[in-house]
Amino acid sequence: MFSSASFSPRARIKNLLRSGCIALLLSACGTPVKPPAPVTDTSVPAAQPVNAPLPGQAVSQQVPPLPREFRAVWVSTVANIDWPSRRDLSSERQKQEILQILDQAAQMRMNAIVLQVRPAADAIYPSALEPWSEFLTGEQGRAPSPAYDPLQFWIEQAHERGMELHAWFNPFRARTASPKATQARNHISRAAAQVVRNYGDQQWMDPGEPLARQHTLNVIADVLRRYDVDGVHIDDYFYPYPVKNAQGTEVEFPDDAAWNRYLQSGGNLSRADWRRDNVNQLVRAIAEMVHQEKSWVKFGISPFGIGRPDRLPPGIAGFSQYDKLYADVETWLANGWLDYLAPQLYWPIQQTPQAFKVLLDYWQRQNTQQRHIWPGLFTSKIDHSEKSWPADEILNQVDAARSMQAGGHIHFSMVSLAQNRKQIRQRLEQEKYLTPALVPATPWLENTNIAPPQLSLSPAGKIRVQLPDPANTRWLAVWKKTDQQWLFSYQPATQTEVSLYSPGPLRQITVIAVNRSGQESLPASLNF
């Protein structure tokens, strides 16, 4: 090979790497090599942007922009849609299913899980405010046995695999249509029955009741304070979807008590506007509370996909969430009361009255505050029924979102991917998610500089990463330069060593620190 006496340590390392030898130990390539002193990046001055070319710098040495795309999936706990698969599973079996879901998502190169933590005024985590969910154990209020904290387990395991965990709350639903268990004593339907309404075969916390709104706010704040979640997420259940009686007439939501108190207090809004204001108050309060508690946590909302009837593009028609659910989504966007909107665009591209591209464009045009717009995709419409969508429909919607620079999307729900219906999981992995990607940055959440890492070679033949600001660093983004290409990967910042493995001779490694809101440090590099 070559004599160890002929080269300096840095030259020997360079030759080891160019020859395809990664390890610096005798067992792999010969004589052990003493690692050099720590090396920090000097190729990019502090005053320069991360990817700006420098005078005399070869184009091949410029670090490409970090790949960004929100690739998420909803994991529903209500009715055991996604997890746990049954209500009688042991704690160990529940954990096994969590790991299986996360491993499948990681293999697909997904980067976020939107986990339903509050299906119906209950909890999949230990809470002093609401009972354990019946969907975990079959009995509301009964904890998993042996005891463990499912939400904490989800968070730790998701982060370990390079994924964000967004906690998904149903804001007002108190009881699903077909419960199998009686309500626990501390469920809101018993602890504060005066704010709960029977509507159809469900129970609903009345959004017109200040106590109901405050209770939901308290529940979300409790999770924020106790758990390292990356996002808070609410769905489309504000006022309930209308129920019809035997004659086919819509049944009015029974909020007379709250409405009459409002009128007696001097309120002068119409009933519809009052209902919308009740929802607006909750949305604004959640946004303010989330960012006061933890400035980096994203607040996302996933409403029904069709907006205000008086603003819709020509040819678009359908259910009005503005008039029926009292969700004034356009106002939320206009005021910046959210960090991302995930409108449920659950129709095919070619279905003209609810055309996917037209609706996505509509929401983008409402987005005057430049928040993220990440459409929800109805991936679970892929099944084995006659009305099943082909897998190509979802693949084409991913392409459409990308062509319209949406920056990401969310699949509903995990069961369709877990079952790999019509090879959808396999095709997304092999055709659409070819390389890893980070979640897009949310720069309006934090305006702080993040210090670049310091790099050195460890005795074990890896890159050791030293973080000046570890508490503010969530991920390490890694670029590896070979003769042929740049290779991207990322890892949790708690993993402070980077492998030197590459499929060809390695020329450069660059590491960028990424904080919790997605902002990047200047790059630190080692050249070989």
Q: What DSSP letter does each residue of 212-237 carry, written as one string?
A: HHHHHHHHHHHHHHHS--SEEEE-S-
Is 517 a member of any domain? Answer: yes
- Give the domain CATH number at 500: 2.60.40.10
**What are residue 244's DSSP bridge partners?**
250
Is 179 inside a domain boundary?
yes
For residue 37, is it left (φ>0), alpha (ψ between -120 and 50) or beta? beta
N-terminal to C-terminal alpha carbon distance within the chain: 18
- pTM here? 0.89
Mean pLDDT, 10 residues at a time, the chain of 528 residues: 32 37 29 30 29 32 92 97 97 98 98 98 98 96 97 98 98 88 93 97 97 98 98 97 95 98 98 98 98 97 98 96 98 98 98 98 98 98 95 98 98 98 98 98 91 93 94 96 94 96 93 97 94
What domain range includes position 506?
37-65+450-527
Query: Looking at this protein, which amino acid is placed at residue 74?
Result: W
Same domain, 347 and 229: yes
- Beta strand 475-482 with 70-75: parallel, antiparallel or unpaired? unpaired
CA proximity to 137, closest of 146, 21, 391:
146
The reported pLDDT for the residue numbered 61 is: 61
What is the residue whose two structure tokens read 């052990």?
32
Which run of H or E residues covers position 322?
helix 321-324
**Same structural domain for residues 365 and 489?**
no
CATH code of 227's domain: 3.20.20.80
User: Are residues 285 and 412 located together in one domain of the fold?
Assistant: yes
pLDDT of residue 33: 28
Same domain membership, residue 317 and residue 180: yes
**204 and 133 within one domain:** yes
Whether residue 421 sits in one domain with residue 290: yes
Q: Among 398, 432, 466, identify where a domain stops.
A: 432
Same domain flag for 457 and 351: no
153 with 271, same domain: the answer is yes
CA 351 to chain centre: 28
The pLDDT assigned to 524 comes to: 97
Task: Determine, yes or no, domain membership for 438.
Answer: no
Domain count, the chain: 2
Residues 444, 446: Cα–Cα separation, whole Å: 6
Domain membership of residue 338 (yes or no) is yes
* Residue 104 and residue 127 in one domain: yes
356-366 vs 391-403: helix axis angle to the nearest 10? Answer: 30
Does any domain span residue 272?
A: yes
Shared domain check, 94 and 166: yes
In a domain, 209, yes or no: yes
Same domain, 458 and 408: no
How many alpha carbons lie under 13 Å from residue 430 in its C-beta half-sphere? 6
Task: Please answer whether residues 189 and 122 qualify as being in contact, where contact means their C-beta atoms are separated by less than 8 angstroms.
Answer: no
DSSP 3-state of 438: strand
Q: What is the pLDDT of residue 459?
A: 87
Last residue of a domain, one of 432, 460, 493: 432
Residue 9 domain-assigned? no
Helices (H), 139-187: 150-160
- Decide if 444 is inside a domain: no
100 and 227: one domain? yes
